[in-house]
Structure 1
Amino acid sequence: MRLTLTTWNINSVRLRIDLVAKFLKAQRPDILCLQETKCPDDAFPLKRFKRLGYEHIALNGQKGYHGVAVISKLPFVTTDIRTFCDIIDSRHISVSVKTDENAPPLVLHNFYVPAGGDIPDPAVNPKFKHKLSFLDEMKACEPLHPSGDQRHILVGDLNVAPHEHDVWSHKQLLKVVSHTPVECEKLLAVLRAGNWVDVARERIPLDQKVYTWWSYRAADWTVGDRGRRLDHIWVSEALKDRVVDFKVLRDARSWERPSDHVPVTMTMEL
């Protein structure tokens, strides 16, 4: 079975539902994970997704902020929501799907990690302190430690660009939130604790630039190409050799009224 999965911080699903529909009609992934839906569950555009052929939808939303969703052609066996830092703010949802009667379920975690504000000092910036604590709790979270033949995937806007060439200028961004050494180390600690495989960096050498986000502050995002790789797809060791393709749809950043993030897609042979 071939399975295609996309993660995308959509920055308001209702505002950009036409862009999502455009993407789904063109790319037809089996599963779409959204972050920053900014939409309470009872206002989510369910009918539009179902008309597009996506019958199975798991939601963890809230009005105006955050929010994550999994939109799928495949039915869910289970769904679950976890809270971190004792704050109920719609930053996680997980589902499991059955892809093969002879294999364990495929477990998918969809995250929106706190952005962390502008000042990289937890002593004076509560948002940055929250982000560091959130990453620490992810590291300690037992369900994020797949082992053996467990087929797990972790995706989302993790709001950290952990490697030198995940940002347009390593030197200039060392003191900028999303690429500070403490954030990078904490995210990589989550990766190591769960023995995860970072699909992008498994397939694209570390000395090559990869970005998934470009700031709205730039009048033209293509000038200087000042991006960061904030959106991630990780797989457990059991799935490492099943990945056959990985793509970042850079062109989506130039769509009309776009998100500042673009879709990131992985294809597996299961």
Structure 2
Amino acid sequence: MPFKIATWNINSVRLRLPIVQRFLEEYRPDVLCLQETKCPDDQFPTAAFRKLGYNHIAIHGQKGYHGVATVSRIPLETVEKRSFCGIVDCRHLLTRMRVNGGDILLHNFYVPAGGDEPDPEINPKFRHKLDFIEEMRAVRPAEMENTATILVGDLNIAPLEADVWSHKQLLNVVSHTPVETSGLESMRSYCGWVDLVRRHIPPEQKLFTWWSYRARDWNLSDRGRRLDHIWSSPGLAPALSRVEVLREARGWDRPSDHVPVIAEFG
């Protein structure tokens, strides 16, 4: 049977619940991974998700900042809520589910943004981001029999030249600096993850998942970046049938500055 997963930095799940409900009603992914939920676990709007058939919910949240959540129509088991860089700030959630007779391990990540100054010597937020990516080398895909691994989330780095509106103009802008892009790609390659979005969409084709709130007309200026990713273990990659970046969601009522990214298998 086909399997559909989506990832979305929602920038406050309670504030933007109406557009999350719209997305689930119209696109019906089996699993939705949210980042930047900005919501303590006991205040997560579980009833609204269950009303739409997403009865299985795993949460790793905190008040006002960060936070990740995985909601599913398929039974979920929470496996791990990992902390990175010695900081407990709700940026990771690992769940397990049974799909088509096999297990899928699903990592949901929200990587630190890194602040504005791309110099780790004077900007501790940027240092934290680089250290976080380095620690992600410990998160490797499982390739056991009947087990596949997916990693999704807002990784806050646009690694390829076509992942930003202007490669040259953003080389010194946090999210596309060489130290970030090389660090992310080195980690991905070292661990053996497959970038499913770029497996399906040619790497030279411009593709964005985020547009700043600062733009008067985000669609006209189109100064975007691909910050949201879906990766998998190599054995699962051949089953990928479709990828969609839901650009239109950036124009929905009270939108997030990110849009959903969807991958379908089978």
- The partner residue of 1:115 within 100, 113, 116 is 113
Opposite residue 96 of structure 2, the aligned amino acid is S
Quote the Cα distance in structure 1 between the aligned partners of 2:190 and 2:65.
29
**TM-score, with normalisation over the residues of structure 1?**
0.96
- Paired position in structure 2 for 1:177: 174
Opposite residue 152 of structure 1, the aligned amino acid is T
Q: CA deviation at 1:190?
A: 1.8
- The partner residue of 1:147 within 139, 143, 148 is 143
- Alignment pair present for 1:32 and 2:28: no
- Alignment pair present for 1:225 and 2:218: no
- Paired position in structure 2 for 1:157: 154
Opposite residue 144 of structure 1, the aligned amino acid is R
Quote the Cα distance in structure 2 between the aligned partners of 1:203 and 1:23.
22
Q: CA deviation at 1:79?
A: 2.6
Q: Tell which deviates more after alignment, 197-206 or 42-51.
A: 197-206
**TM-score, with normalisation over the residues of structure 2?**
0.98
1:77 touches 1:98 (CA, 8 Å); kept in 2? no
TM alignment of 1:41-120, pairs within 5 A = 41-101=41-101, 103=102, 105-120=103-118
Quote the Cα distance in structure 1 between the aligned partners of 2:265 and 2:256.
26
Opposite residue 146 of structure 1, the aligned amino acid is A
Q: CA deviation at 1:100?
A: 3.2
1:148 touches 1:238 (CA, 8 Å); kept in 2? no
Quote the Cα distance in structure 2 between the aligned partners of 1:202 and 1:54.
29
State how many pairs are aligned.
265
1:145 touches 1:193 (CA, 8 Å); kept in 2? no
Q: CA deviation at 1:78?
A: 4.0
Deviations 1:4-50 (A, max 9, x none): 00000000000000110011010110000000000000000000000
Quote the Cα distance in structure 1 between the aligned partners of 2:157 and 2:91.
15
Quote the Cα distance in structure 2 between the aligned partners of 1:253 and 1:12.
15
Quote the Cα distance in structure 2 between the aligned partners of 1:80 and 1:100.
23
Q: Tell which deviates more after alignment, 75-84 or 88-97.
A: 75-84
Opposite residue 53 of structure 1, the aligned amino acid is G
Deviations 1:132-165 (A, max 9, x none): 00000001x1x42433544000000000000000
- Matched residue SS, 1:144: coil
Deviations 1:39-81 (A, max 9, x none): 0000000000000110000000000000000000000144311
- Paired position in structure 2 for 1:11: 11
Matched-pair identity in %: 57
Quote the Cα distance in structure 1 between the aligned partners of 2:203 and 2:5.
23
Quote the Cα distance in structure 1 between the aligned partners of 2:77 and 2:68.
18
Quote the Cα distance in structure 2 between the aligned partners of 1:202 and 1:148.
22
Opposite residue 261 of structure 2, the aligned amino acid is V
Opposite residue 48 of structure 2, the aligned amino acid is R
